[in-house]
Structure 1
Amino acid sequence: MKRSRALACGRRRGEGWHRLWTSPPGCHGEKAPPEAAEAEAADLTVALLGMPNTGKSTLYNRLTGGHAQIANWPGLTVELLSGAMPADRRGQHYTLVDLPGIHDLSGSSEDEAIVQRFLRHTPPSLLLVVVNASQIVNQLRFLMQLRRLAIPMVVALNMSDEARQLGIGIDHQRLSAELGLPLLPISAKRRQGIHELIDAVHQLGEGLAAAGSGGGSGPGDPDLEALAELLASRCVTLPERLINRGTRRADRLLMHPVVGLVAFLLIVMAMFQLLYALGAPLQDLLGSLFDWIQTALLEPSLAALGAPEFLRGFLVDGVWLGVSTVATFLPIIFLFYVIMAVVEDSGYLPRAAFLMDGLMRWLGLDGRAFVLQVMGFGCNVPSIMGTRVIRDRGMRLLAMLCIPFALCQARLTVFIFMAAVFFPRPWWAPGLVVFGFYGLSFLAAVITGLLFKRAFPSREAFVLELPPYRSPSLSTILRRGWTSMLNFLVTTRVFIVVGAAAIWLLTNLPPGAVQGSGDTLADGIGQLFQPLLVPIGMNPALTVSLFFGFIAKEILLGAMAVIYATSEADLGGVIGQAITPLQALSFMTFVLLYTPCLGTVAAQLQESKSRGFTALSLGWSLALAWILALVVYQGGRLL
């Protein structure tokens, strides 16, 4: 009975195809392969697809509870986000895979190629397609393009509440019948229609298990543009003048070529002031907690166990000090990602890209590169991977050359710390110093673009979709901040622990060597590079910390705590006595511009597939860092 009901349901869904196409979708009649008997026991893979700005990420969090894993997908050499959806009544499990947002299934960008390879080499059991209801007319062609893949699919008509507010009328039932697909109006942000959407996915999954096939084949008519227009005329009613008045009023200011640019700079400066105002007290509180753990628990426990002095120093003054110093910056990392999520989800980021497109064109790039540069404030690695949306290889390489200069959150923690130590007054000075280095990061990108745009020419056109302004979902942005902070811990834990341990060993070996005496391995490294780094104000201790910062900026402050043999709470006072404010500015300049981390180098190699380009990027960042640090230090001495 289950099998007949499933097939009958499939025919009813397919009847609507006769209205637009001459042939019904039909069903596969092939005999199931031997491994089909195990299909019910295995997870059903549901691919989440949609165009950009459809609310796909919010829906993913709603369906998976925010529990995500980022890993290489079997059969592909790319990392994809995946998570578990609720199981159905038969106990069948579903794995939801979040694919990149794309505009066209036959496009040539790297993101579009990833989707194409995924669907070709690891075809999913189901497709869950997200459509922006407020822009449905422009997205019907892509929806029908997916319908031709012969993969069963459910359509989530997201932002339906927003479409109603704009006066857009959508006949959901008729549209579902015309397409021959289950189509449900939802609002992922407001949690409306989520349970019904899950039920629809389960019903289709049960139908697959009962029928033992992969679903119906789509129509073969290639004129999708005309079909989309016909479908829109039958099922969608648009107001005479589709205007979001609030968005239009805001854009008069934020998109103005002068006022908009000033507003952008003010927004960015406010971000850094807010980070310092909220993050610094939380950082101090966490630092005091770690100091208490060390004095009240860790050191007495090691003494009670009779640990040798060398082991005690290694564990407490090495591993613990390094790790705890880095851990004190977790509140700042959390706040940073929350603020970035607000900027992205509000719809402002694409407008900033549009506003800066003229400048980026002058540099041989376009507004997409600016968005990626801003996203690099979180982490340069995913920003470099995001260059896949740029089809032209020359522009992709130029963007990858500029992105590493973006002030990522790992370097941001160093700058907030140093600014608070050397420029504490007046109250707005630390935020202004950090904002200054933000501007310097863009200056470095401008210099790079002007120098290398002829080496990496491009003529690709730039098309940008401006979504309406939206109020971000509080739960979504908090979850994103929490998840990003945990990902930071997971991805850097080995670097932090191993780096802190290695630094302590370098500063305490060979046995009997006194730290700072010039006899330790760290002193040897510092002295080796001194002829090169003395002109920019680096002492041996700063040189060693820069050496480990090349591995990962996350361990740079931990390295300094170990080198100076002090805790996070006392590190500021110790460094304030060891170096001058001018040396601090030179150090911050070099940290900003030289290679962010080994992960960034690996991402450039992976995305460019060129060792020569990666070596060029590495050499150029080191050269530019040294030149500008020299200008800062020697110029400061002259003044």
Structure 2
Amino acid sequence: MKRIALLGMPNAGKSTFFNRLTGASARVGNWPGVTVDLLGAKVLIGSSMVEAIDLPGIYDLQGFSEDEEVVRRFLSLNPVDLALVVINTAQIERQLSLVLQLKHLGVPMVVLLNMSDEAKKLGITIDTEQLSSFLDCPVALISAKYGNGYQNGYQLIQKELNGNRPPVTVNLASSPLAEPALEEAMAQVMSTAVQIPAHASDQLTQRMDRVLLHPVAGLPIFFFIMFLLFQGIFILGKPIQDGLAWLFQLIRTTALEPLLSALPAPVTGLLLDGIYNGVGTVASFVPLIVLFFLFMALVEDSGYLSRAAFLMDALMARMGLDGRSFVMVLMGFGCNVPALMGTRVMRSRPLRLLTMLVIPFSLCSARLQVFVFFIAALFTPTQAPLVLFSLYMMSFATTLLSALLFKSKFANSEPFILEMPPYRFPTWRQMALRGWQEVHHFMHRATKFIIIGVVLVYVLTNFPTNVAPASSGTIAGWLGTSLAPVLDPIGINMQLAIALIFGFVAKEIVIGSLAVIYGMDGGALMTTMAHQIDWVQAYSFMLFTLIYTPCLSTIATIRTESRSRSFTLLALVWPLTLAWVISFVFYRSARAFGY
């Protein structure tokens, strides 16, 4: 099978082209010599089945960041039949350097001049024939976002793959292209194949930035936009979630219970009260997760996320972090694991470690599911967006507090450089594909953990069999009771304590485990929770869940990325301690004021 590798600088639209090329078939995998997972897909190009790999965005093959090291190791250890080099045409004068380095190393490639629509608006013109002749490789003008020129680029890729050229393993030990030679080659290309107006600029971007990057109003506007995002999630998603919960209950009562009635009671209990209740309760909240990812894709792909990093940089610098750290924290809203891996773009190890310490405070999608459940059960529709927004603000607050406390231990001197892309409104196709990929990743991970988790919860809450299920006499009850001296002072009862124990394995299990513990799902479970605990206990539980020790996969990633046992131990102990302190202060203060 032939292999193609996608390369390019950050924000060049490489992943957008990858998604258009591969559709929804992308998967995460590992490759020889590379210590991290990369996105790849098998796709039919012409008559050949081809393996396409989306490599991290890099600025330079001779750079020092870990992402650049990942690309170098991949190219030197994995034979490649063709490199697809994606360039932002509007920034061609800065992005050609990577192409020239690859040409010097003899990498077979097709150069895809992406965002040609934006370049055209700026008056930038490219003579593709001249550029192709100079680079000695095919060149195509495309817009991966809208599909313009895609077929032409696809045909060039197909033609190159049909050749009999053997795959190439890059010899990075060879002499790199000297800086004077690189500058001379770039100057020659720009003078013969590229025309850029003297005052090329994006007027709309400049006008919007005057408002959204305002030194005083910029941050309030950002947080207001995030609040509107949460408001939209509940307004649009809650009716769908209620409908799914009703449907799952209907399926249980009308189909599954009669079908399984002949089975022994323990088996029926495991299948219905264990697996079905646990998985069904989690699945009913998927619409809210889908909307969250769609809205976050809109914010990220529009270019506004880079502005948020710029706005937060001054504040983050006071905490020993920078704007990139803020971007990684926002990435953690989806999942902490890829956000932790994203810190490889930072060359400073202290900055990486401090950023990795605070990323787990991001309110990830697994925690979001827990909060949506408790908010829907104990708060009114008017209160719900405010409660969720307050938890996101607490996420930021714990991030900044932790950074402030540990910045002297992880002192950073690396300067912050950020490239601002123009504002772009992503297409519906982009948003849908991005949302599907995120939800597919969440559900794949969640399903695996939830099924294992709810079966284990069912066993622990139903054994020994001579006591009432989920009572203090069961194994789970013993575990919950043993934690009572620690958790009672923050309003967390035995049932919630059991859920927290399993939440350490994966936060996705928390709601599923409660469904198993109470033997209920959907609306019935929410009604029971509303009668068993009040809003103060619920909010204290949510605070603790937000902050306490991250899940096992996050801890494993921290250990792999930091290569330090002591730092991993710190990442375990510090959040747990902070979670208890903050929940204690909130719970005791609320009770003192009569709530």
Same fold (TM over 0.5): yes
Matched, 1:472 2:426: yes
- Opposite residue 236 of structure 2, the aligned amino acid is L
Matched, 1:235 2:189: no
Q: Distance in 2 between matches of 1:544 and 1:212?
A: 58
Partner of 1:187: 143
The one of 509, 518, 538 aligned to 2:463? 509
Partner of 2:49: 93
Partner of 1:522: 476
Matched, 1:439 2:397: no
The one of 323, 326, 337 aligned to 1:370? 326
Partner of 2:443: 489
Q: Deviations over 1:50-72 (max 9, x none)?
A: 00111111111111123101111
Answer with 1 or 2: which has the greater Rg.
1
Q: Deviations over 1:129-148 (max 9, x none)?
A: 00011111111112111212
Partner of 2:377: 421
Alignment: residue pair count = 589
Aligned-pair CA distance for 1:84: 2.4
Q: Distance in 2 between matches of 1:516 and 1:183?
A: 66
Partner of 2:569: 615
Matched, 1:83 2:41: yes
Change (3 A) 1:360 1:302: same
- Opposite residue 158 of structure 1, the aligned amino acid is N
Runs of 4+ in 1 over 3 A off after TM superposition: 211-221
Map 1:178-577; keep pairs closer than 5 Å. Answer: 178-207=134-163, 209=164, 211-212=165-166, 214=168, 221-222=177-178, 223=180, 224-303=182-261, 306-424=262-380, 427-515=381-469, 517-577=471-531
1:254–1:260 Cα contact (<8 Å) kept? yes
User: Is the deviation greater in 608-617 or in 480-489?
Assistant: 480-489
Query: So what's the TM-score if we normalise by structure 1?
Result: 0.90
1:132–1:139 Cα contact (<8 Å) kept? yes
Aligned-pair CA distance for 1:227: 2.1
Aligned-pair CA distance for 1:262: 1.0
Partner of 1:103: 59
Q: Deviations over 1:414-467 (max 9, x none)?
A: 21221222221xx43110111001010111011111111111111001110000
Partner of 1:27: none
What's the C-alpha RMSD, in Å, of the aligned pairs? 1.6
Q: Distance in 2 between matches of 1:534 and 1:269?
A: 32
Q: Distance in 2 between matches of 1:205 and 1:316?
A: 52
Change (3 A) 1:212 1:450: closer
Q: Could you list the runs of 5+ residues in structure 1 that have no partner in the other structure?
A: 1-42
- Opposite residue 227 of structure 1, the aligned amino acid is A
Matched, 1:602 2:556: yes
The one of 48, 55, 64 aligned to 2:6? 48
Identity %: 46
Q: Distance in 2 between matches of 1:171 and 1:390?
A: 36
2:476–2:498 Cα contact (<8 Å) kept? yes
Change (3 A) 1:390 1:123: same
2:33–2:73 Cα contact (<8 Å) kept? no
Aligned-pair CA distance for 1:486: 1.6
Matched, 1:118 2:48: no
1:63–1:194 Cα contact (<8 Å) kept? no
User: Is the deviation greater in 71-80 or in 110-119?
Assistant: 71-80
Aligned-pair CA distance for 1:100: 0.4
Partner of 2:583: 629
DSSP 3-state at the match of 1:281: helix
Matched, 1:151 2:107: yes
Q: Distance in 2 between matches of 1:441 and 1:133?
A: 38
1:170–1:237 Cα contact (<8 Å) kept? yes
- Opposite residue 390 of structure 1, the aligned amino acid is M
- Opposite residue 487 of structure 1, the aligned amino acid is H
Aligned-pair CA distance for 1:483: 2.0
DSSP 3-state at the match of 2:505: coil
1:538–1:587 Cα contact (<8 Å) kept? yes
Q: Deviations over 1:550-606 (max 9, x none)?
A: 111111111111112212121111001111111111101100001231111111111
Q: Deviations over 1:197-239 (max 9, x none)?
A: 12212222222x1x55749999975121232123212222111
Query: So what's the TM-score if we normalise by structure 2?
Result: 0.96
Q: Distance in 2 between matches of 1:342 and 1:122?
A: 35
Change (3 A) 1:329 1:215: closer
Aligned-pair CA distance for 1:391: 0.9
DSSP 3-state at the match of 1:101: coil
Q: Distance in 2 between matches of 1:114 and 1:472?
A: 29
2:104–2:177 Cα contact (<8 Å) kept? no
Aligned-pair CA distance for 1:372: 0.5
Aligned-pair CA distance for 1:517: 4.0
Change (3 A) 1:167 1:219: farther
DSSP 3-state at the match of 1:356: helix
1:273–1:428 Cα contact (<8 Å) kept? no
Q: Deviations over 1:25-82 (max 9, x none)?
A: xxxxxxxxxxxxxxxxxx1110000001111111111111231011112342221111
Q: Distance in 2 between matches of 1:216 and 1:265?
A: 46
1:60–1:66 Cα contact (<8 Å) kept? no
Q: Distance in 1 between matches of 2:343 and 2:357?
A: 11
Change (3 A) 1:430 1:328: same
Q: Could you list the runs of 5+ residues in structure 2 that have no partner in the other structure?
A: none
Partner of 1:589: 543
